[in-house]
Amino acid sequence: RGVRLRVLQGGRPVEERAPVLFDFRAHLSSVTPTQGLAKGTLVTLTGGGLDPMHGYVCAAAAAGHTNSSVVSAFNATTLVCLLAPFSSEDKDTSLVVFDQTDGRRVAGGPAFSFVEGIVFLSQTEGPASGGTVLAVHGTGFSATNTYALEFCDASGNCATSDPSLTTFSSRSLLTAVTPEWAFPAADALITLVVGGTRRPASGTTPWYYRESVSGFLPAS
């Protein structure tokens, strides 16, 4: 929006030959969080100069791939976007916002990374002896990454599946084999492990390890 500029000398305005206007443009400076699930996530963009009377479109862009997203709320300094599912192979993106009223792009484009995420499992419980084959449905999986599942209960007991038994099927499907659970039967949360790195931002999925019998002692 144009703002008239005046030059003051000794506190008094200097005579102008013609009005001078300066355009204060809206800008974006940061995003919270800086990474989220490829299946879509809610982010808050902060900046300044946003007009509550204007409509905005938020999008993630990478390597020519743009995914328009929904703006759920905003004020003069804050814009809240629900990012749509992102299907590009490029996980590192920049977030861009367009003003629908005048068609201009809002200055600034904070960096954002999409991470792999688990949406649901083919089943939610299995024996403590392990060996259950799971279909892991999610988003953002890549054939070039190595995946495992970490199972942890509320007491801090954990077991991790064998990455060599995890198979990539598609960007939305993995198959994995549950590890043996050498602890009392318990509810556990599953965290995705990518290339040996835990990805808490990918979300956690509940799993129940039930008791199992692996064999019998011979009768005396």
| pLDDT tens digits, 167-206 | 999 988 999 999 999 998 889 889 999 998 887 655 567 8
pTM metric for this prediction: 0.63
Q: How far apart are CA 134 and CA 147, in angstroms?
A: 13
pLDDT for 55: 82
> How confident is the model over 98-147, as pLDDT tens digits?
888 877 888 888 888 887 888 889 988 999 999 999 999 888 888 989 99
Residues 121 and 62 in one domain: no
Please give the structure tokens belonging to residue 116.
């792999």
* 95, 115, 135 - which closes a domain: 115
Q: With bands split at pLDDT 50, 70 and 90, how would you rate the model's confidence at 216?
A: very low
Flag whether 219 is in a domain: no
Flag whether 63 is in a domain: yes
What's the mean pLDDT in 206-217? 65
SS3 content of the chain, % helix, strand, coil (to 5): 5, 55, 45
pLDDT for 88: 59
Flag whether 215 is in a domain: no
Q: How far apart are CA 177 and CA 159, in angstroms?
A: 12
Residues 108 and 125 in one domain: no
Per the structure, the count of domains in the chain is 2
Q: Terminal CA-to-CA distance of the chain, rounded, Å?
A: 92
Residues 147 and 160 in one domain: yes
Q: Please, are residues 78 and 2 in contact by the beta-carbon 8 Å criterion?
A: no
> How confident is the model over 27-41, as pLDDT tens digits?
889 999 888 876 667
Domain that holds residue 38: 3-115
* 94, 115, 136 - which closes a domain: 115
